[in-house]
Structure 1
Amino acid sequence: MVPGEVVEAALRAARKRDVPVADVPLIAVAEEAGISRSTLLRRLGGSRAALDEAVRATGIDPGGQRPVRERAIEATARLLGSSGLGSVTLERVAEGATCSVHSLYATFGGRDALLRAVYDRYSPDVDLDAALASPRDDLTTTVRAIFRALADSLRREPRVLPAIIAEALARPHDPAAQAVYQQSIGRMLEKISGWIAEEAAAGRIRDLPLFPLVQQMTGPVISYFLLTPVYEQFVGLPHPDDAIETFTETFLRAAATSPPTP
C-alpha cells in the first residue's frame, strides 16, 4: 500500500507544476516527499502504476488517460448496449472506465446525471435539431431528415437508444427505467410533436389529433430500425436509405395536405 504522505507529495508536486500527477517525474515526487528516488520506488513496490492507482483511489484522476468524464460515458454506453440499464452500476462503470467510484461522483454527482450525459452523447437530438431547422418549404426533405436521424440513432453502436426502449418496455412500472425513457425518448418526441403542430398550423400537414400523428410518423421507422438486427437474420432487407425513402413517402401520402406524386 502506498503511504499517504507519498500520495500527498505527488499531489503537491502536480499542483506546483499545474500538470496531472502522471506527468510529474518520480524524482520530483521524491523531492517533495523529502526522500530519495530509490526510497520512493521501494515504497511504491517498484512500480509507478501503484502511485497512480493510489491517487485514483482518492477520487483524483492522475492523468495519462483521457478525462474520467469521457471514459465513463463510453463505458456506460457499452454496458447499456450489451447488458441493459440494470447492468449500469457505478462500480461496473468505474471498472470499465478504469477510475474510482469516487471519481464518478466527483464528475457527475450520481448515476442519474451520468445516464443523462450518455443520452446527450448518443441521442438523435443534434441531428433532429438540424433537420427541423431546415427550410419549411420542402416538407419531403425535412421528413426524410427526421427519419434519417432516428434511423442513425437506432443503428449506432453501442446501441444506447434501443437499450433504453427495451428497458422501458420490459419494466413499464419501474420508476428508474421510465425516468430514463422519459428523459430520452420523451425529449425526442417533444421536438417532433412541436414540428408537426407547426406544420399542421401552416396547412402543410392534415389537422388531425397530434399524438396519433406523432405515432404514425415515428412508430414505423422506430420499430423497423429497432428490430433490424433481428429481421436481417431471417430475411433480406432493403438498404437503409431505401427503407427511409419508403417511410417518407408513406407518411407524406397519409398526412400531408399535398402528398407527393409517387
Structure 2
Amino acid sequence: MARLRGQVDETKTEAILEAARTLFSEQGGGVSMEAIARRAGVSRQTLYNRFPSKLEIGQALASRRSDAISAPLRDGGDPETVLTSLAGLLLDKICSDDGKASMRGVALMSPHAPEVARAIYAAGPGESLRRLSAWLAEQDRAGRLSVPDPDAAAEMFSGMALGHGHLRGVLGVPHPPIDRDARAAETARRFLRAFAR
C-alpha cells in the first residue's frame, strides 16, 4: 500500500535511530550526519527532515530508553512490585552490551559535544529520575511510603540497583555475574524498608 502524501515512513526513522545508536557507540559524537544517513540507507534530506541535528537524534534515543525503563511506574501495582520491576529493567539496560555501548558512546561524545551529552542525559537518565521522583512523591502523598525528599530518594534507588554498573559500563569492565531477579527484589525490599511509614 502506498503512503499518503506527507506520511512519514517509520521504517526509515527506525533505521536512522539504529544507525545513530551503533555509530555513536563506536565513534562517539564525532560521527557525521552524513555517516548516519549512509549507515541507515537514507538520503541526507530524509535524515535532516526527521532529525535536524545529532542533538535531536540523541534525545530520541535517550527518550526511548527512559520510556522503556520507567514503564513499571506507569503500569501501577504495589510499591514492591513496581520497584522490583524497575530495578530489574535498570539492571537489564546497564548490564546489556547495548547499554554499555550507549554509555561509552555518550562518554566519548561529552568532551566534543557537551550540549548533546546534556540533552541525552536530560531526555534519558534525567527523565527517568524525574519520573521515579514523581512516583515516590505520589506514594508519600498516598501514605504508602514516607519520602520527604523524592529527588534524593530516586537517586538513592538508582544507585542501590546499579551499584558500579555505570562505571563498569563506561570503562568496558565486565560485570560480575549477578542473579538479576534476586538483586532487583533485594534492592526494592531494602529501599522500602528505609522509606516505610
Which interval holds the TM-score relative to the shorter structure?
Answer: 0.7 to 0.9
Offset from partner CA, 1:232-254 (integer Å, 9 cap, x none): 3xxx5322222212212221222
1:117 corresponding residue in structure 2: 60
Decide whether the 8 Å contact of 1:193 with 1:214 is kept in 2: yes
Offset from partner CA, 1:123-148 (integer Å, 9 cap, x none): 0414523443323xx22111101112
Structure with the larger RCO, 1 or 2 (CA within 8 Å, 6+ apart): 2
- Code of the residue aligned with 2:23 in structure 1: it is L
1:247 to 1:124, Cα distance in 2 relative to 1, 3 A: same
2:38 corresponding residue in structure 1: 95
Decide whether the 8 Å contact of 2:27 with 2:105 is kept in 1: no
RMSD: 3.1
Equivalent residue of 1:158, what SS?
Answer: helix
The answer to whether the aligner puts 1:199 opposite 2:139 as a matched pair is yes
- How far the C-alpha of 1:219 sits from its partner, in A, is 1.8
Offset from partner CA, 1:166-188 (integer Å, 9 cap, x none): 468x65x9333212211222211
TM-score normalised to the size of structure 1?
A: 0.60
What residue ranges of structure 2 are gaps of 5+ in the alignment? 4-8
1:107 corresponding residue in structure 2: 50
2:6 corresponding residue in structure 1: none
Runs (4+) off by over 4 Å: none
Pairs within 5 Å for 1:1-262:
67-84=11-28, 86-121=29-64, 123-135=65-77, 138-159=78-99, 161-163=102-104, 166=107, 171=111, 174-226=114-166, 227=168, 230-232=173-175, 236-257=176-197
CA distance in 2, matches of 1:88, 1:207: 43
| Identity within the alignment, % | 22
1:127 to 1:207, Cα distance in 2 relative to 1, 3 A: closer
Number of aligned pairs? 188
- How far the C-alpha of 1:75 sits from its partner, in A, is 0.7
What residue ranges of structure 1 are gaps of 5+ in the alignment? 1-16, 20-62, 258-262
